[in-house]
A and B are shown apart, each in its own frame.
Chain A
Amino acid sequence: MSVEERDPVSGERLTGHDWNGIKELDTPIPRGVLLFLIVTHIIAFALWVLTPAWPLGKSYTPGILGIDQKKAVEEQLVASAADKATWTKKIEVSDFPTIQADERMMLIVRSTGHQLFGDNCAACHGSDGKGRANYPDLTDDDWLWGGDVQRIAETVSVGVNSANAGSRIAEMPRFGVDQMLPREDVEKAANFVFSLSNPQFSQPANVETIAAGREVFLANCATCHGEDARGKQDVGAPNLTDERWIYGGDLDTIITTIHGGRRGHMPTWDQRLTPAEIKILALYVHSLGEGDS
């Protein structure tokens, strides 16, 4: 192998190495590569001079710009809180009717409320607030605990069956499991409840069961759900006469509900959200549907 061997394609000299047929050209490093190498090094050196870079035992070179990311974040947080204070203060001190009457404030409520709701509530209630099985729809005018803004704010604050000492308590007893009612009565009551929202179910064949179910209902359920079965908001007992269900309105699910009871859990938010945020959320939820008109 002569050192002068050249590659016919590029005309470049070969290094003379040969590994299993692989050869190498002795092409010099392209100028562009060296230039680029120098540029990246200059950038690096500049950053070392300007910003914190090299360790010096227990401290480090601070850099002449005096950048400190922790301080920068703290300053940004303070500045942002100050910016926001202009309107958060107003929301905190104003009462609901005042805010609702103020179109500008309601604009803020809607845009901020959307994000707060998405990050805190959507996991259960859906990002449109329409709920899903086991989680109530917040956009309708059918309320467990009351749909005026004040009551919604209270529900959000303390939660339902939550860890909060002042939590709302919703307790649908376990009539079957705790043997408060025999199986036939559970089924009768269920038939009655089912018939309330399904008038076509009241056929001659079922009338007897429904009537018996009504008796069971009046004796066992009316205290909470009311004699007309339209629910009572002070105990969070839902209206059973409409088409809107938390757990489901088919006969089987109703039987399951009566047999095993229900204890929906809605977390408490007063430790996690600020009073202004809870107010915004209450107004936002209220504005989703008709609220309690």
Chain B
Amino acid sequence: MISTLTRTERFLALWISMAVSICGLALAIAGREDPLLIHGLLILLFGLVCSYIVMFGYEEKAPGTERLSLYYDEPIKAGVIFAMIWAVFGMFMGVWVAAQLAWPDLAFDAPWSGLGRLRPTHTTGVIFGFGGNALIATSFHVVQRTSRARLPDQLSSWFVLVGYNMYCLIAVSGYLLGITQSKEYAESEWYADIWLVLVWVTYFVLYIRTLARRKEPHIYVANWYFLAFILVVAILHIVNNLAVPVSLGHAKSYTVWPGVQDAMVQWWYGHNAVAFFLTSGFLGMLYYYLPVRAQRPIFSYRLSILSFWGITFFYMWAGSHHLHYTALPDWVQTLGMTFSIMLLVPSWASAGNALLTLNGAWHRVRDDATLRFMMIAAVFYGLSTFEGSFMAIRPVNSLSHYTDWTIGHVHAGALGWVALITFGSFYTLVPVLWKRRQMYSPALIEWHFWLALAGTLIYVFAMWNSGIIQGLMWRTYTEEDTLAYSFVDSLKAMWPYYVARAFGGLLFLIGAIICLYNILMTIRSPDKAESRDDVPHPADLALAGE
């Protein structure tokens, strides 16, 4: 990988790695009496390993200008592998957490393995580790192909990818150590948050620079979505994480937002993390890999425009539906609820646009598990957005809130939509990246498909059942106007569903492991494809400045 960097970039990479090591050392010294020590040392180690890798390849032959005649796919390859490793880790944690909810003894009485610490490693592992790496990798691929332009340089993309994974590593290890600022999906502490800002701004700038080099007159829809994802996540992350550390030697920090405003900022963040991380970004993926695989034109350009602006505009206002019936003023709740209702149409428009694109390719859907992954993903996207808009209605939310129904909704979106679209995209992308004719084993893709679908259905149905039973038990009164059931009664009623969920999750995890295996075997297989016509616009060569 170092051989693809220019001499200047190698110098810069070394410099950045050293700077990271020094920052790590400084944190370790300042925080020597705090859990911060461990993170300081981790950062130091990470910086040293990066420095070593750069130095090791420092003297390799520098690439010539002919490199500019090819797309820069090295970081994408790494991103795909990272994503799948995080997928297996995050989903394993999910299965463990699910099993703990059925069999609490699986926490083994150690502080680091309690539910409270494992749960955020699951959410961070799957959303940021798996989802984030998948988004970074595919966005680099899509933006180059649909702009017919190469990434402007080599170093930025590596900085984004490696820096992002360092962030994930700090975050997840911190949760096991008990370092958290207790904001869901934003648990990482101030030093990790600052680092992520640097990474994310570089990502944004890199994306804009690539788009600016495009050889196409228009920017493709997928890129609108990716750009919305990158820009909005930057804003959300910065605003929600404004905090003051106890001191530079402490991991702990306190948010600047007071009371109910903190809750509102947190769920404005939380909801838009769903919207722009788990929705926009993955819609970008869908808009590229689905038509490519189906070999069909997008059903309607106009519908794309309507849904893009609808989603981008309405989502921003809907966050307060996470705080129905709380200390949040009534009017904010009404706004959240009404914008969620209006959000339904653009959401369904995207799902419909994707499914109607398959018109004329349904025979492919039948025969090709890869395309089926993406088709089912679009269906689950439609399903979870309908469910979401429904749950955002206050009286409905009074039943669903605090119950497993929310968890069912989350995973209809997370497994059915986010994970399935990613698998479909990866199966399309991997042979292209490694220039193979096809994946190592189509039969294993088929297996993965059915495991994933079965896992998702078992998970989601178990949680719907359990959630609604739970919600109803909590609101059943006796004739004397007292509650009919205690909390423990409802917990006992949940047990079979918790077991079912753990089983469904296990199927899903096995599918992900098969996927990782299939990808690795594809890379190792000797079956090279004919060189495809997959190069940037020839004019790039003439423009090459170096």
The interface of chain A, by Cβ under 8 A from chain B, is: 7, 9-10, 14-15, 17, 19-30, 33, 36-37, 40-41, 43-44, 47-48, 51-55, 60-61, 63, 67-69, 80, 83-84, 87, 108, 111-112, 114-119, 122-123, 127
**Neighbouring A residues of B302 by C-beta, 8 Å:** 26-29
How far apart sit A68 and B334, CA to CA, in the bound complex (Å)?
12
Q: How far is the CB of A39 from chain B (nearest CB, A)?
A: 9
Q: How far is the CA of A83 from the CA of B482 in the complex (A)?
A: 10
A48 nearest in chain B by CB position: B338
Interface residues as binary, B451-495 with A (CB distance below 8 Å gives 1, 0 otherwise): 000000000000000000000000000101111111111001000
Q: Which of A15, A52, A118 contacts B329 (CB 8 A)?
A: A52
- The smallest C-beta distance from B221 to any residue of chain A, in angstroms, reads 8
**Total B residues in contact with A, Cβ cutoff 8 Å:** 50
Q: Residue of A at shortest CB range from B290?
A: A22
In the bound complex, do residue B482 and residue A112 qualify as a contact, i.e. CB atoms below 8 Å apart?
A: yes
B269 in the interface (beta carbon within 8 A): no
Q: Provide the residues of chain A in CB contact with B482, threshold 8 Å.
A: 84, 111-112, 115
Q: Is the CB of B341 within 8 A of A43?
A: yes
- A26, A28, A118: which contacts B487 (Cβ < 8 A)? A118
CB atoms of A40 and B331 under 8 A apart = no
Q: Is the CB of B301 within 8 A of A52?
A: no
With A24-B304, A26-B302 as contacts: A117 and B334 at CB distance below 8 Å: no
Within the complex, which residue of A9, A15, A54 is in contact with B301, where a contact is CB–CB below 8 Å? Answer: A15
Q: Are B301 and A25 neighbours in the complex by a CB distance under 8 Å?
A: yes
The verdict on B291 contacting chain A, using a C-beta distance below 8 Å, is yes
| Contact partner, B335, options A24, A53, A111, Cβ 8 Å | A53
Chain B interfacial positions (CB closer than 8 Å to A):
145-146, 148, 216, 218, 220, 288, 291-292, 296-304, 306, 325, 329-331, 333-335, 337-339, 341-342, 344-345, 348-349, 352, 359-360, 478, 480-489, 492
C-alpha spacing A43/B344, complex, angstroms? 12
Contact status B303-A7, CB under 8 Å = no
Give the tally of cross-chain contacts (CB within 8 A).
147
Add 12 more A-B contacts to A60-B329, A122-B488 (CB < 8 A): A20-B148, A26-B301, A30-B352, A33-B303, A43-B338, A61-B331, A84-B481, A112-B480, A112-B482, A115-B484, A117-B486, A123-B488
Task: Identify the closest chain B residue to A47 (Cβ).
Answer: B338
- Complex interface: chain B residues within 8 A of A30 (CB): 303, 352
Q: Is the CB–CB distance between A27 and B299 below 8 Å?
A: yes
The reply to whether B488 and A44 form a contact with Cβ atoms under 8 Å apart is no
> Which residue of A22, A41, A67, A119 is within 8 Å of B220 (Cβ)?
A22
Q: Which residue of B lies closest to A117 (CB)?
A: B486
Contact B334 A52 (CB under 8 A): yes
Contact A22 B334 (CB under 8 A): no
Would you list 6 pairs from A and B whose C-beta atoms are within 8 A, ordered by A residue? A9-B296, A20-B148, A33-B345, A40-B345, A60-B331, A114-B486
Report which of B296, B339, B486, B492 forms a contact with A44, defined as CB distance below 8 A.
B339
Instruction: Give the distance to chain B from A82, nearest Cβ to Cβ, in Å.
Output: 9
Residues of B within 8 Å of A41, CB to CB, are 342
B338 touches A127 (CB 8 A): no
Question: Does B359 contact A10, Cβ atoms closer than 8 Å?
Answer: yes
Chain A residues within 8 Å of B344, by CB: 36, 40
